[in-house]
Structure 1
Amino acid sequence: MKSIVARSPTRVDLAGGTLDLWPLYAIAGGATTVNVAISVWTEVSMAPAPGLQLYSLDLNREWKFKDLGELASQEGDHQLKLFRELLLHFPELKDCRITTRSESPVGGGIGGSSSLTISCLKAIHQWLGRKLPSPNDLVHFAHNVEARILRTPTGTQDYFPAVSGGLNILDYSDYGVRQTVLSLRDTPLASHALVVNTGRSHNSGLNNFDVFTRVIKGEEKVMAALNEIRRVAAETRRVCVTQEWQRLPDLFRQETAARLQLTPLFSSPEIQRLEKSVLEEGASAIKICGAGGGGCVLTWVNPQYRERVMRRCQDEGFQLLNADPVEPLDSYANG
């Protein structure tokens, strides 16, 4: 058996996050989420080795087991949870070394853990000679596993770009999720988008769970904010299809206003300081990634101001990510 390597991109969301959680999109009467795969990668490699060996480069931790049965008994090690929950679904797995690596900042809000889960599944299927399931089936499996690990409701938007790359339009309805993957050619995303890490880790599970519980309680203010996010996401979908990219900054501002009505946890002092700095240097708008509260921020800036904005971010101590849009992977493009 030869060594194999599987990689997956992470993502920045353009609109409609949080509404990818069931039953929020069902309660709202359907919803849309729009996101873009970016070149901040996760990677899983597998090679022949005695027993079952696991190595996380990010944690700088290594585990060795004689087989899956011994791994199954390690219930107290939190850092093993992802490995254990995934690998036990593949009882024929043996005599290999699995190494994982992620370029995503911890708590970055760009779907790093979801991307790593997809990379693990890609690698295992390739190692075992299995055909990879459809994107919908793979995402359904992955988000259920991660919900069990985190013990909190999880959405699905993070997994689709990790599987498919490209510009993803995810339409949620009573029938499930319909994914449309668009090419990023002839879009301004590469020239206008900067991904900046605020340095403060976010917790999407806690922020989303706060919204989730308040919707279940029937809080009208929260439902009104979700409906506004739903409206903005539908308009963002239309803008991406018709390529009216000049409208994105205004839509980012509209969604931010709605999210701050949804929960004050969406912003943070670091995000506010970053926004003030980049707007002073000529940026048009920011889009807080994921559930907010910290992590990464998409900054929309015309090319003539890009260098100024980048210098200001570095002077302020923020980290610029090497995050270019990723074209659809393999044969996933629909348009």
Structure 2
Amino acid sequence: MTPTSVCASAPTRIDLAGGTLDIWPLNLMFDDPVTLNMAVSIRAHACVTLRKDRKIRLVSEDGKLKMEFPSIRSINHDHPLGLISRIAEHFIEPGAGVTIVARSEAPRGAGMAGSSALTIALCAALTKITGQKIDKRKLIETAKDIEAAHLKIPTGLQDYGAAVYGSAHAFSFPPGGMVREKFARQGQLLADRIVLFYSGASRLSGINNWEMFKRVMEKERKALNLFTKISECALRAVEALRSDDILKFDRAINDEWSARKKLFPAISTPRIDKAIDAGKRAGATSARICGAGGGGCFFVIADPKKRADVIDAVERTGCENLPFSLSNIGLKT
């Protein structure tokens, strides 16, 4: 029996190394690129309820926004809830009506793939309520394509992988699809050492990723060299996790961040630079922006014994600590 109401949730993620290299065809232009991330307990939620009329009602609880359309045929996407309406259009048959309520626990523009987690959750809820069958791989591809259609730029795969599978993973991208290597035990080790902060300013990751994407496609030598360095650092980070070597992992993250800042200086902001410097003076050993940067969230890595001192030092710069835990559970419906 088809349910009349379905709720789903999916975790956001902290990307640790190798981001942007999960975007096709960049994933095929470098030698065995890998993207490393961890799913966290800060989740995105979507609830879908069938209506007796044909109306399509969209609600963003955290955004405090509402939209309503007479029917699925009358829907358009030129509004702040355009991603949600585009997902609805993909799944809802003419003549059916639904109310969709979405909520994200992550700050807006955090760089934690909140929109991708929401896309996965909403696609899963709509799939279930419409009685469709879809496997995880197809779900990821569908979500990726819908969000790319909304943004009008290419999107990668790592965000959707974290949302579906949870835990910590290294994702690689050979011809034919995405392959994942799970690091559940090491992920907990990282969660004990990673301290997450919100800078107080949102960003739009698609813009920054698109700029870097274009530079590679235009064969800019500096971009190619630095992406090669980023790819090498990500592989070093994965090897360090395989051998439980947190010091080598730490160095790989620092080196990846240095290469990424050279590639795209606007990835950081004066406030984030100041906060990272303060964190390192208090005992943090490495740091990195979440997502494509320009604002949003960042993290530092510190010995658990120094966590309190690091949090205090960074929060004195005006940034907000965001507590989290490793999410071993991915998509839930």
Work out whether the TM-score is over 0.5: yes
> Structure 2 matches for 1:138-149, cutoff 5 A?
138-149=139-150
Query: Does the 8 Å contact 1:45/1:123 carry over to 2?
Result: yes
How far does the alpha carbon of each residue in 1:28-69 deviate from its partner, in whole angstroms, 9 at most, with x for none? 133100100011110011234333322111222222333211
Cα shift at 1:328: 4.1
Q: 2:24 aligns to what SS in structure 1?
A: coil
Aligned to 2:61: 57
Q: Which amino acid aligns with 1:54?
A: L
In the alignment, structure 2 segments of 5+ residues that lack a partner are none
RMSD value, Cα = 2.0
TM-score by length of 1: 0.91
1:99-248 correspondence to structure 2 within 5 Å: 99-134=101-136, 136-184=137-185, 187-248=188-249
For 2:36, the equivalent position in structure 1 comes to 34
Q: CA deviation at 1:84?
A: 2.5
Confirm or deny: 8 A CA contact 2:167 2:187 kept in the other structure.
no
Does structure 1 retain, via aligned residues, the 8 Å contact 2:41–2:326?
yes
* Cα distance in 1, alignment partners of residues 228 and 50 from structure 2: 51
Report if aligned partners of 1:36, 1:166 keep a CA contact under 8 Å in 2.
yes
Structure 1 residue 330: Cα displacement = 7.8
Matched to 2:158, the amino acid is: Q
The corresponding residue for 1:257 is 258
For residue 288 of structure 2, what is the aligned residue in structure 1? 287
CA separation of 1:291/1:84 partners in 2, compared to 1, >3 Å: closer, same or farther? same
Secondary structure of residue in 2 paired with 1:158 = helix
Q: Which moved more, 1:312-321 or 1:110-119?
A: 312-321
Give the whole-Å Cα distance in 2 for the aligned partners of 1:315 and 1:205: 30
- Farther off after superposition, 147-156 or 44-53: 44-53
8 A contact 1:283–1:309 mirrored in 2: yes
Structure 1 residues 310-319 or 266-275, which shifts more?
310-319
Instruction: Show CA shifts across 1:160-196 (max 9, x none).
Output: 1111101111111223321233324783223211110
Deviates more, 1:50-59 or 1:272-281: 50-59
| In 1, Cα distance between equivalents of 2:212 and 2:62 | 31
2:16 to 10, 14, 17: 14
Q: What amino acid sits opposite 2:60 in the alignment?
A: S
Work out the CA distance in 1 between the residues paired with 2:63 and 2:12.
Answer: 19
Cα distance between partner residues in 2 of 1:221 and 1:330:
38
Aligned residues: 327
**Structure 1: runs of 5+ lacking an equivalent:** none
Following the alignment from structure 1 to structure 2, what is the Cα–Cα distance between the partners of residues 160 and 308? 33
Per the normalisation by structure 2, the TM-score is: 0.92
Match in the other structure for 1:321: 322
Q: What is aligned with 1:97? A: 99
Whether the 8 Å CA contact 2:276–2:314 is kept in 1: the answer is no
**Equivalent position amino acid for 1:194 in 2:** V
1:2 Cα deviation (Å)?
Answer: 4.6
1:229–1:255 contact (8 Å) kept in structure 2: yes
2:173 alignment partner, SS class: strand
Change in Cα spacing, 1:329 to 1:106, as seen in structure 2 (3 Å) is closer
